[in-house]
Amino acid sequence: MWKSVFLAAGIFACVAGLELLLIDSAVVLPMDGRGDPAVFAAPDWAPWSLISAGAVTILHFCALPTGNAKAAVGSLTPEPRFR
């Protein structure tokens, strides 16, 4: 399960970084429609930081062991969980 969490977090960070590379600023409107809209502009270092952190997290996903590590190292047939 943790493996999929790391993969999802890495992909999310990479996609968010790519989106910040493509846009200069975003206008955030209030949910109720009243009030002033806010303008969000990310600093210049944010997209590259998100992309690199996401790439490192995806590489960490690739390095994590799968399932039952004892069965993968010891023999080709896994031990039964319940006896």
Give me the pLDDT at residue 63, please. Answer: 84
| In-domain check, residue 82 | no
Which structural domain range is residue 12 located in? 2-29+37-67
Query: Is 51 in a helix, a strand, or coil?
Result: helix
Contact 45, 33 (CB under 8 A): no
Extended beta strands in 8-83, E state:
26-28, 38-40
Average pLDDT, the chain: 86
Question: Distances in Å between the alpha carbon of 29 and those of 13, 33, 35, 81?
Answer: 23, 7, 8, 53
Domain total in the chain: 1
pLDDT single digits (tens) 55-69: 999 998 888 787 665
Assigned domain for 7 exists: yes
